Amino acid sequence: MFAVPLALLAAGTVGWFSLGKETRGLLATVPTNRNLLFWSQTQRDAAFRAMDRISLLAKWHTAQPGPSPRPLIEGAPLKLPLDVDAYLTSQHGAALLILQGGKLRLERYGLGFDGGGRWTSFSVAKSFTSTLVGAALKEGLIKSMDDKVSAYLPDMKGSAYDDVSVRQLLTMTSGVAWNEDYDDPKSDVARFNNHVPEPGVDALVSYMRKLPRAAPPGERWNYSTGETNLVGVMLMAAIQKPLAQYLQEKIWQPVGMQQEATWLLSKTGKEISGCCLQASPRDFARFGQFILEGAKVGGEPLVPEGWLHEATHKQADIGQPGRGYGYQWWTYDDGSVAARGIFGQGIFIDPKRQLVIVTNSDWTKAGSANNPQYAEREAMYQTVQKAVDDEAAAR
């Protein structure tokens, strides 16, 4: 995802024990491979909680919290027919939080992590980026979901993206070829961050504008982190400010997040909008609750009327019964919706049950295909839903 120098830092200039435990852990197991998809689990365990601790590993922008964080009110513990500690061990999980009815009903940590730290999100960040696109639409900085991408990114003119709309980019139905195979070192998702751009052209734009067309726009869904990164570059062109600053202005402070968030930067100094937002598990939960409550700030929707419903409901068929894809959200036909990131990051939202579930993990595999840890997490979601239903029926 980003370059890792072979030698990071001479720790002799700073007392080893004056460093935070996350930084010490990272330095003790620092990855030498340039691509995190191929780090060892030990390296990932240390790095996922410390992506933003050493600027030679990666650079970032920060979204600061406001002075009055939204309280997370403790609720009665939710009775689950589930050994939570065993579940976390099986998931290689760092955090599991359940909000239900607006109250915190379960909070458990693992891997030596706790609620005071930040954990990386990977593609969970896509759903934050989508929400910021909605905010820009509400402000009129993006005029229409049917605008062409090249209207905001002139360097895309003449490419396969010239005829692609903002809507098609958000739903990943551009029809442009992209390979998201996390196990293949030659896939686009593994190679694009190492692309050397032409002088004066954004590195991502330089890579994406060379991709060939595989299908007409709007006709085929194909999961593409590169496209969400392109959404972010387009959004920054429209708002004329860094994404982390917009996040701070529109969500982080108004919604009442408690801790700062960091967003890692590409080699051209822009936030990697399809990935790499670091935040505390409680703040991820606050974001889920914000979406559950209609993405409102001070009673006013942050996004245009009807837009959030579209964003969190099926806009594209992904070839899985009962599932779909919205505007950078994974949808379920029962009305639930999820933000999902590789290696087990997630925010699951069930409006019917007023339920938000946050997971931070370091799975053995990056993706969900043929991954028993993914299937186990989906089963956990269903177990929690049933527990909420059983509790309501017993009242």
| Strands, sheet with 103-109, edge to edge from the N-terminal-most edge strand | 73-74, 103-109, 93-100, 355-361, 345-350, 337-341, 330-332, 323-325
Q: What is the average pLDDT across 55-83?
A: 94
Confidence of residue 13 (pLDDT cuts 50, 70, 90): very low
Those residues whose C-beta lies under 8 Å from the C-beta of residue 15, and which sit 6 or more positions away, are: none
pLDDT in tens, 185-230: 889 988 887 788 888 888 899 999 999 999 999 999 999 999 999 9
Taken in order of first residue, the domains within the chain and their CATH numbers are: 64-122+242-394 (3.40.710.10)
Across 272-283, average pLDDT? 96
Tens digit of pLDDT for each residue in 15-38?
Answer: 444 457 667 666 666 666 667 888
Which tokens in the block code for residue 359?
């997971």
Q: How confident is the model at residue 272 (pLDDT cuts 50, 70, 90)?
A: very high
Q: Is the pTM of this model over 0.85?
A: yes
CA angle, 308 then 281 then 134, to 5°: 20
Q: Which amino acid is at 242?
A: P
**Helix%, strand%, coil% for the chain, nearest 5:** 35, 15, 45
Determine the pLDDT at residue 271: 96
Q: Which residues pair with 332 in a beta bridge?
A: 323
H or E element that contains 278: strand 277-279
**Per-residue pLDDT averaged across 144-154, rounded?**
96
* Contact (Cβ atoms closer than 8 angstroms) between residue 171 and residue 217: no
* H helical segments located in the chain: 21-28, 41-47, 84-91, 124-139, 166-170, 188-191, 203-208, 225-239, 243-247, 253-255, 281-292, 307-311, 372-394
Distance CA 192, CA 177 (A): 13
Q: Pairing mode, if any, of strands 93-100 and 119-120?
A: unpaired
pLDDT confidence bin for 254, thresholds 50/70/90: very high
Q: What is the mean pLDDT of the chain?
A: 92
Average pLDDT over residues 65-72: 96
The CA distance from 235 to 135, in Å, is 10
Specify the higher pLDDT residue, 9 or 140.
140
Q: If you write DSSP's letter for every residue of 118-155 in order, what string do you get?
A: -EE-TTHHHHHHHHHHHHHHHHTSS--TTSBGGGT-GG
| pLDDT value at residue 83 | 97
**Contact 79/306 with Cβ under 8 angstroms?**
no
Q: Cβ-count burial of 249 within 10 angstroms (0-12 exposed, 13-18 middle, 19+ buried)?
A: middle
- State the average pLDDT over residues 55-78: 93
Structure tokens that stand for 155 in this block: 């360097």
Q: What is d(CA 170, CA 237) in angstroms, rounded to the nearest whole number?
A: 16
For residue 22, the model assigns a pLDDT of 67
6 pLDDT more than 60: no
Nearest to 70 by CA among 252, 322, 311: 252
Encode pLDDT of 286-333 as tens digits: 999 999 999 999 999 999 999 999 999 999 999 999 999 999 999 999
Phi then psi dihedrals of residue 163, to 5 deg: -105, 10
Confidence check: pLDDT of 340 > 50: yes
pLDDT at residue number 32: 60
The predicted model gives 118-130 an average pLDDT of: 97
The dihedral over CA atoms of 247, 248, 251, 256, expressed in degrees to the nearest 10, equals: 150
Dihedral, CA of residue 169, residue 170, residue 171 and residue 172, to nearest 10 = 40
For range 133-143, the mean pLDDT:
98
Q: Which of 52-56, 122-126, 391-395 has the lowest mean pLDDT?
A: 52-56
3-class state of residue 116 by DSSP:
coil
> How far is it, in rounded angstroms, from Cα 383 to Cα 389?
10
Q: Of residues 244 and 22, which shows the higher confidence score?
A: 244
